[in-house]
Structure 1
Amino acid sequence: MGMKGDGGYFWHITDIHYDVNYTSLGDPTKMCWLIRPNNGGGVVRRQPGQFGDYNCDSPWSLVKSAADFMKKKHGDNIEFVLWTGDAGSHAANDPHKLLATMQNLTDLLKHTFSSQFVFPALGHGDVIGHHHHHHAHLHGGLTAHELYKSVADMWRFWLPSEALASFEKGGYYTIENKGNRLRLIILNTNLYVRKGSMANVRHPEAAASLSPGGDDDPYGQWEWLEGVLDKSLRRREFVYILGHAPPGADERLLPSSPSSDSTTDGPFQEKFNKRYLHFVRRYSNIIAGQFFGHLHTDTFRVIYNELGQ
């Protein structure tokens, strides 16, 4: 997505889902992988395309083509790039392979946007895969914080030392664009997603020291967010907030039950959705934009005040 405002253009990239195993010889019903049945039989009725298939994740040819188009469309005439997560395949669950995938995409964006800063956010599948829940030690023998550190090292090219320190702590950071009084706040929305439906990168053993609020404020991100917004308010900065999973409901989902007290059937847990909206309402005069991914649709949110207006 290319966005134009008074200051120029920026790109918003999300949910690339690069799959190293994609092949045009693969089976679209099996992630477009080349899987040979044990009995040697089976016929693939439809071949995937060179640049992808609707039922599968993205081949490198599609990823590279998209990057080339963005460069050709605006060249260096953009302010920055927002990258809101989910680099790897939905089938990926090995942290080392996920990190390799993220490195490939990081290198591509460095090359494509060599004159601009890229501001990345963690997707729910970027750190421990789409089929894991939080564990002290993840598959592959790495802890969540070791993975945060690895990703921070990968993104060191774009982020200053203060942002890197914050990211290594909890996967979130803020950065100032001094030229136009704009502050970007990058959230780790993995801390707020519904349990059982997505990966959650919280590290239980570290939660006590990193998160004074415990489960109500994992890794202290809410306290940190309030401090950053207060500071921006005093400085009269405008703010962009970005993350992977969006607040609010997924309009494609029916309510979980007719009698449910939940007001959202979306990615966030209800208590975290309410708290996020509280901050948005409180600081609405300085929040100029919010950018998220995850849903794989072009959608927008209308946020009401406490009176429903």
Structure 2
Amino acid sequence: MYLSTLILLCSGLVHAAPHQVPFEASALAKPRKLHGRFLHITDMHPDPFYQPKTSEKTSCHRKKGKKKKNVAGYYGQPYSDCDSPFRLTNLTLDFIEKKWASEIDFVIWTGDNARHDNDRKLPRTPAEIYELNRAVAAKMNSAFTSRGIPVIPSLGELLIFRNNDVWREYLVILIFNILNIPQLIITSEFSSIWKAFIPFPYLQIFQRGAYYAVEVIPDAVAVISLNTMYFYDSNKAVGGCAFKDREDAGNLEFDWLEVQLKGFRARGMQVWLSGHVPPSSGNYFPECYVRYVELALRFQDTIVGHLFGAKASDLEIFEPAKAKNNNDLFDALIADFAAMPKPKDIDYHDYAVINVSPSVVPNPYLPSFRVFSYNITGTASSFKDRKPGHRRGSSKDKRKQCKLDMYRETWKCQLNETWHSDPESPSRSNRLWTPLGYAQYYIPHLEEGNKTHKPSFKLEYVTYPAEALGGKEGFHPVPPKNLPSTLKNRHTAYGLEDMTIGSWVALARRMSNSKKLSALFKKNMYMT
């Protein structure tokens, strides 16, 4: 199950910045021609042990499958628990290189480049994880970095281990790194694997915590790659961002992120936040979630968007309205959309939009990726005329709760800085650097691929209205060569003019009022 968009609503959270000096990413040697597009790809999960015609029950590793629908396909097994054969990873990256490498400005790559550790007879090892990541990184380097296209990878769930005691020891070593104990095993290895992607000034901070930033458009747009393993509530080796534990790995990362955002805001830049595990009350420790939401809203005028990977079946909605106990994500989303304030009552300062992209691995659905477009010709937002800020997100209920001992020393009660939001910023108004939309591609008939017949990526849908694809003002959000010869209504049903917060909120409201549109949304979510 994959989620297109998760809308967060929050009020009342904040904290003073630590005394740190932000790094500046080095600019590329010469300016590049901008195309106004970038790739988001996630969860490739290549599996060196994958064998066609084996049983899905063995993770597609051995034993001949008895039923046709449970027999591993040549290019992968859709709607299954199996990972990707290398031929699917290679097919995907070869396709993107051929069709998109000359059309994009940067690549956001949000992790999980090793197989799941779900076969007791073939336990995953550290050496295997490194080797798989090294293989995928080499392919990404060849396809993109060698052309001068920045690639921004993030660590995936490979730091959460289920069946391997050796890896638990490695995880503890990684946490020690954050506390400045000189045992740089994991992060040193990944800094070597990703040396072509991480700007030199950030290598030291990456080796401490596996997070960093890249100025993908120097002095204009940056991407911050977060290590979400320190926020993920399945990671029992961290403290969960507790307010009293200021040396917790998650708190140190948020302190660093706050400084980065302040620095980029002071320079008038826009920032994409990226990572593997999406922020939600179901995924993050409660205190980590509070800190993420607070920063997302406090820097709404600087953060142009949020991009994450991982499975949406792991998600819950923040403060779901009418479907709190409903286990179906689609139903919970529609109920939440329906409960939003009416247009005249809504306060857009209280919203951030989280985009969760589908995976390349056909587990549990179909191989997919997204290509986003953004405004490269619009008018820049004027920081000189901006007001100091919006407000602190305070509320009567919060003030009352924070007088109680059980809440007083929590982040929600200790965060009191002014939020910065601006209706004229790129996240709220279509102008320079505003995200405009995305096109999603998938392989609809993966099971039909064989030695003589390669499966093919097709356009699943776009968020744009049909008229925008014709090249409005000379710009094609999707190059005509990458569109089908005939566009159907289902391809362009969302009709978003842009990806500003207001546009997403309006779409959510339309979905809650239209059975036809919500049915299409459900079809796209579940890839049926």
Instruction: Give the structure-1-normalised TM-score.
Output: 0.77
Corresponding position of 1:120 = 153
Contact 2:230 2:250 in 1 (8 A): yes
The offset of 1:7, in angstroms, is 5.1
Q: Residue deviations 1:125-153, cap 9 Å, x none?
A: 2x4645568977339xx933311110101
Q: 2:267 and 2:139 mapped to 1: Cα distance?
A: 35
Query: Once structures 1 and 2 are overlaid, which stretch shifts more, 229-238 or 85-94?
Result: 85-94
Match of 1:149 among 179, 182, 188: 188
Distance 1:70 1:278 in 2: 36
CA separation in 1, counterparts of 2:96 and 2:65? 38
Counterpart contact for 1:134–1:200, Cα < 8 Å = no
Asked if the contact 2:114–2:132 (Cα under 8 Å) also holds between the matched residues in 1, the reply is yes
Which of 236, 240, 250 aligns to 2:268? It is: 236
Q: 1:180 to 1:99 in 2, by over 3 A?
A: same
Give the whole-Å Cα distance in 2 for the aligned partners of 1:130 and 1:72.
37
- Report the counterpart of residue 207 of structure 1 in structure 2: none
Give the distance between the partners of 1:11 and 1:247, measured in 2 at CA: 21
Instruction: Compute the displacement of 1:173 (Å).
Output: 0.6
Partner of 1:246, secondary structure, is: coil
Greater Cα radius of gyration, structure 1 or 2: 2
Please tell me whether the aligned partners of residues 278 and 308 of structure 2 are also in contact (alpha carbons under 8 angstroms). yes
Gaps of 5+ in 2: 1-33, 118-122, 175-183, 240-244, 314-328, 338-347, 352-392, 396-504, 506-528
For structure 1, the 5+ residue unaligned runs are: 1-5, 36-41, 204-211, 249-263
Greater Cα shift, 104-113 or 232-241: 104-113
- Inter-CA distance 48–170: structure 2 relative to 1 (3 Å threshold): same
Task: Determine if the alignment matches structure 1 residue 28 to structure 2 residue 56.
Answer: yes
Question: Residue 107 of structure 1 corresponds to which residue in structure 2?
Answer: 138
- Of residues 279, 301, 308, the one that matches 1:285 is 301
Which residue of 2 is the match for residue 295 of structure 1?
311
State the match for 1:67 in structure 2: 93
Does 1 or 2 have the higher relative contact order (CA < 8 Å, sep 6+)? 2
The letter of the residue matching 1:20 is: P
TM-score by length of 2: 0.46
CA distance in 2: counterparts of 1:58 and 1:155, whole angstroms: 22
Counterpart position of 1:53: 77
Give the structure 2 partner of residue 93 of structure 1: 124
Cα drift, residue 168 of structure 1: 0.5
| CA–CA distance in structure 2, aligned partners of residues 32 and 135 of structure 1 | 23
Cα 1:134–1:234, aligned 2, differ >3 Å: closer, same or farther?
A: farther
Aligned-residue Cα RMSD (Å) equals 3.3
1:273 aligned to 2:299? Answer: no
1:172 and 2:188 are equivalent in the alignment: no
Report the secondary structure of 2:273's partner residue. Answer: strand
Shift of 1:200: 6.1
Give the C-alpha shift of residue 25 in structure 1. 2.9
Cα gap change, 1:189 to 1:43, in 2 (>3 Å): closer
Contact 1:90 1:129 in 2 (8 A): no
Q: Could you give the per-residue CA deviations for residues 284-308 of structure 1, whole angstroms, max 9, x where no partner exists?
A: 0111111000116899999935489
2:156 aligns to what SS in structure 1?
A: coil
Number of residue pairs matched by the alignment: 269
Q: CA deviation at 1:202?
A: 5.3
Aligned identity (percent) is 25
